[in-house]
Amino acid sequence: MDTFRVGITADVLQSDGLPIFGKAPLAMLDQPGITWEFMDTESSEVTPAHAARYDAICAMLTRVTPASLSGADRRLKLIARFGVGYDTIDVPACNTAGVWLTIAPDGVRRPVATSALTLMLMLAQKVLIKDRLTRSGRWNEKLDHMGTGLTGRTLGSIGIGNIGAELFRLAKPLDMVAIAHDPAIDPAQAAAMGIRLVDMDTLFRESDFLAVNCPLNEHTRGLVDARKLALMKPGAYLINTARGPIVDEKALYAALAQGRIAGAGLDVFEQEPTPQDNPILQLDNVVVTPHAICFTDECMRTLAESAFRAAVDVARGRTPPYLVNPQARSARTA
């Protein structure tokens, strides 16, 4: 039996050289006929040499482009994402090359939903402002920064998929009104979750807290634009833990700086890392994190287990779960 080689992108390594998911999940790859290694640290993109060396690549943010899969000696069969978004992967190129792509929704469902809830609570309670007041001894200003109670407020979501549905489930004890826009969901399914489906404009008009829970694609890039932001209440907050380019960042800055909306919680940006001179970073009504708010031991362990399980499935001739492009099979067998 030929050895099945698994490459793990180096962007999972911490400054101490240890993987962010710990050592335990790597035991899943310690099986007969499978070898694994961390890939070189210099490349932010899979190269033809990588595709020739590995049967499976487990990737965090490393990109896969048509050039990545252009080599004649390619042996790559699988890209297993440590995550649910795959805007870093050229799916048509994978289809043409017969390379399967898997994601790990089981790893991000709870951690990302919890992250969105965390940002909502921080904004509602004005935690960041009150932290600054306390650290600078300005206790006499605390009455100037009243928070927003959540009971009866409206929580809206762009999307009720894996993460959006979990966010609503976690928020249920807060007695908020739940609304969402998602053309892909069955209205009966939404109703069973206690969520009222509305059109996009109504979602922006009625939400007190509006969470972005949709993937980045050609339909959602720039979806949250100046026109939609203008529909929001002056006391409303926007939360984005999905992808930065879904939101027009300049339009969001204008709405925040001019007080047309109350604030925002952002884990993602149009450009990452976002420049230090990004004006959004200077605003007091914004909570920001470096596309890592969901990074916990639980999240990273589960993501790694999902990706490694997919690699083992392919090594053993099985179709892995959470397959994005089953149509790549035809190119594999052609």
Whether 328 and 93 have beta carbons less than 8 Å apart is answered as no
Concerning whether 181 is annotated as a catalytic residue, the answer is no
Please state the separation of Cα 236 from the chain's center in Å.
22
Among the options 272, 298, 316, 332, which is catalytic? 272
- H or E, element range at 59: strand 56-59
The number of beta carbons lying within 10 Å of the beta carbon of residue 174 is: 16
- H or E, element range at 117: helix 105-124
Whether 124 and 209 have beta carbons less than 8 Å apart is answered as yes
Concerning whether 145 is annotated as a catalytic residue, the answer is no
The candidate with the shortest Cα–Cα distance to 84, out of 242, 221, 313, 289, is: 242
Concerning whether 132 is annotated as a catalytic residue, the answer is no
Whether 276 and 253 have beta carbons less than 8 Å apart is answered as no
Among the options 50, 81, 181, 291, which is catalytic? 291
Among the options 243, 249, 270, 309, which is catalytic? 243
Q: Show the CA angle centred on residue 259, arms to residues 178 and 210, nearest 5°.
A: 15
**What phi and psi, each to the nearest 5 degrees, are found at residue 208?**
-85, -35
Q: 237 by DSSP, 3-state: which?
A: strand
Whether 11 and 82 have beta carbons less than 8 Å apart is answered as no
Whole-Å CA distances, 298 to 109, 113, 143, 202, 328:
11, 13, 38, 36, 31
Which residues are tagged catalytic? 243, 272, 291
